[in-house]
Structure 1
């Protein structure tokens, strides 16, 4: 592979020299320019694998160079050097299409990691994993295209959408389609962490830093090093953690509980929530400065009711998966009326609810044909992704199956007869409800 070349655009000789020396030691070829005009001449004369530009130049703004490279040489990632603490400039550069940014004074270790990540884009497009985002509706087509564009950036992304629309799937696709694909993808539901453990979970702790800290433990940021940290339901973070998260994003450093020094981290953060963050900011329930840093680029996952024509494709895919997991010889199919009923149903729980409905229908159907009655849509109208009714139904099923098994001394064939279902359906429900682990 040919040695990569990097264009460095900065009017300060000391910074140019620092960046050139650092990149030369990485085995890279460097070219320097002090102005926009010089940079344009260099770009016109030869291709570059990476460009690093200062925000302020004698004859213009680095943002203008970012936009020009995006338009004329879109395969060249551009990183922007910003003044220390200038969060607005960093966000502005990312929104303009910059790959990433580095603050003055330039941290050599941060610069190396940034360039190394950018060079992973060199030579070819990243693999396209977006085929797992099923659907032919225009909103899904646009979403797949947007994921590919975002994969080439390190800008923070905020994914908004109703529960069950696939926000985590989108985050995983952005990760797996980009230069961090070989790094870890760490997902956490912010609403599921006890408040008193949040700081330790996010930033780690040292042995003896508090009661119960029997050993050093890395936090989520350290675990996601070199990869992506997905913060689901980020709106659930309490105010004190919002402050600490903002600092981690700005400084790219974290301080483990009990530590005296900070640890540098190289992590891309993607957040998501089903709530309206902008509205929460207006109500004083979410910090505006954190919102500004997380919501650099917004991605919306469309609800299922907006794309009913995609339901047949999704249903067939889900039914094939259910059959495979249940060990069924034949994949159940929806009859014409059942499919029509699904396409007219509003799906408050979106794709996740469609999965729940079809799993239940496979259990209830007679043979391999699923009818409208098997879908139990009337019972599902009141449910969404996480309603108590869905849990109550599963609890009732577990109890009925346990009782039938007890009465038949765990003869599954007789238990299935007692329950009025096929042996195949009973075996699937036992596995689905976790009864095979009891």
Structure 2
């Protein structure tokens, strides 16, 4: 018997479905997950394996009697959505994301306030991962407060985060609670944490160390117990080296670093993603030509971009009865490129060098212009050029 928990053996389950014997039986049962509410789990019972006595024979369906095999895919995917709140997929990369969600939602993790940093390009669903951790953990009944650090008003950022007493600044007639206080004992999600102004970083560092904050204009400390999950789409090591982010703040925020894959890294999930996103807005199945073209294209905006395309396709189909114009738009998009080989460190070094060479050429080797364009100090530019063996004049 193969039991598929919604974290455990998703890839193996998929293969078993595809390679199953004609009489393989499919059983849906309720299971209690150890670290969070999981609504369904799939059990595949080989025809030579007797069903355990605890399973009601009336609930067992034979695989070749199911008229729509795609329904099994949809049922499995819905179970994952119910459990994790977002599309998981079949790739190893997303399997690892699920495992990290389990770790971060574990009672011990949440009790000890282990902080996680989610890293990945724009549009991969970092906010969904944070919300899922909050929903599955012991803090599910507490507030989930999301802060986009890139959009905080610079002149009021302290008051926005930590609150302010009446009269702390012009026009404030009554006490204003901040977002840290609003999070209470729940989860505080700091999105785009790399965009925090440098002058605010020591303040946040002190809050993390003392587990307390002081509203603007107040002399009283307020205890802070929320779990912090941060996210960024930037390479923080470069920001630290360039002086745009404090290393000690990074270490406080990144007890655990969770990489989230781009669509380019999970191309095998595209078919599943298209079907899922389509059925989020329509009861029908997506046209096969849409699925085929999506699989051939690159999606630099990741799931966010793909979702927008799918929603437009459904709208066109409902209003004008055709998706041909959108199909032409998809065909005009850049074709997907093969994922380059090499270790993650090698790929990062290669990318960094290519970008640096391009900027050096564009700036004519002028160190001051290179530093300004990269947003780092001139000393850091010299260090980068030396590391990659690039002459400024080339």
TM-score, scaled to structure 2? 0.61
1:305–1:345 CA contact under 8 A, matched in 2: no
State the 1:131 CA deviation. 5.8
Q: How does 1:56-205 map to 2 (within 5 A)?
A: 125-128=35-38, 129-130=83-84, 132-152=86-106, 153=109, 154-205=113-164
1:162–1:303 CA contact under 8 A, matched in 2: yes
Which residue of the partner structure matches residue 286 of structure 2?
A: 333
The 1-side partners of 2:126 and 2:119 are apart by 7
Q: What CA RMSD, in Å, does the superposition of the two structures yield over aligned residues?
A: 2.1
1:160–1:274 CA contact under 8 A, matched in 2: yes
The 2-side partners of 1:191 and 1:131 are apart by 25
Provide Cα deviations, 1:265-309, integer angstroms capped at 9, x if missing partner.
Answer: 111111001001111101111011101111110001100111122
In structure 1, list runs of 5 or more residues that go unmatched: 1-122, 324-329, 383-438
Provide Cα deviations, 1:118-175, integer angstroms capped at 9, x if missing partner.
Answer: xxxxx95322432633211111112112210121113000000000101001111111
Q: How does 1:364-375 map to 2 (within 5 A)?
A: 364-365=316-317, 370-371=323-324, 373-374=326-327
Which residue of the partner structure matches residue 281 of structure 1?
A: 240
1:286 is paired with a residue whose SS is coil
| C-alpha distance 369-332 of structure 1, shift in aligned 2 (>3 A) | farther
State the 1:340 CA deviation. 1.8
Which residue of the partner structure matches residue 358 of structure 1?
A: 310
State the 1:338 CA deviation. 2.5
2:257 is paired with a residue whose SS is strand
Provide Cα deviations, 1:383-421, integer angstroms capped at 9, x if missing partner.
Answer: xxxxxxxxxxxxxxxxxxxxxxxxxxxxxxxxxxxxxxx
The one of 278, 283, 308 equivalent to 1:319 is: 278
State the 1:322 CA deviation. 2.0
Which residue of the partner structure matches residue 236 of structure 1?
A: 195
Provide Cα deviations, 1:155-199, integer angstroms capped at 9, x if missing partner.
Answer: 000000000101001111111111111111000110011101110
Provide Cα deviations, 1:45-88, integer angstroms capped at 9, x if missing partner.
Answer: xxxxxxxxxxxxxxxxxxxxxxxxxxxxxxxxxxxxxxxxxxxx
State the 1:334 CA deviation. 2.2
1:331–1:368 CA contact under 8 A, matched in 2: no
Q: Give 1 or 2 for the bigger CA radius of gyration.
A: 1
The 2-side partners of 1:213 and 1:362 are apart by 47
2:199 is paired with a residue whose SS is helix
| C-alpha distance 143-124 of structure 1, shift in aligned 2 (>3 A) | closer
The one of 296, 303, 317 equivalent to 1:344 is: 296
1:338–1:375 CA contact under 8 A, matched in 2: no
The 2-side partners of 1:375 and 1:299 are apart by 36
State the 1:339 CA deviation. 1.5
State the 1:380 CA deviation. 4.9
Provide Cα deviations, 1:210-236, integer angstroms capped at 9, x if missing partner.
Answer: 102121111111000110100000111
TM-score, scaled to structure 1? 0.55
Q: Which has the higher contact order (CA 8 A, sep 6+)?
A: 2
State the 1:349 CA deviation. 0.2
State the 1:362 CA deviation. 2.2
The one of 281, 284, 290 equivalent to 2:249 is: 290
1:357–1:376 CA contact under 8 A, matched in 2: no
Which residue of the partner structure matches residue 176 of structure 2?
A: 217
State the 1:378 CA deviation. 5.2
State the 1:238 CA deviation. 0.4
Which residue of the partner structure matches residue 214 of structure 2?
A: 255
The 2-side partners of 1:191 and 1:156 are apart by 20
1:304–1:350 CA contact under 8 A, matched in 2: yes
2:117 is paired with a residue whose SS is strand
In structure 2, list runs of 5 or more residues that go unmatched: 1-32, 39-82, 336-394
State the 1:369 CA deviation. 6.5
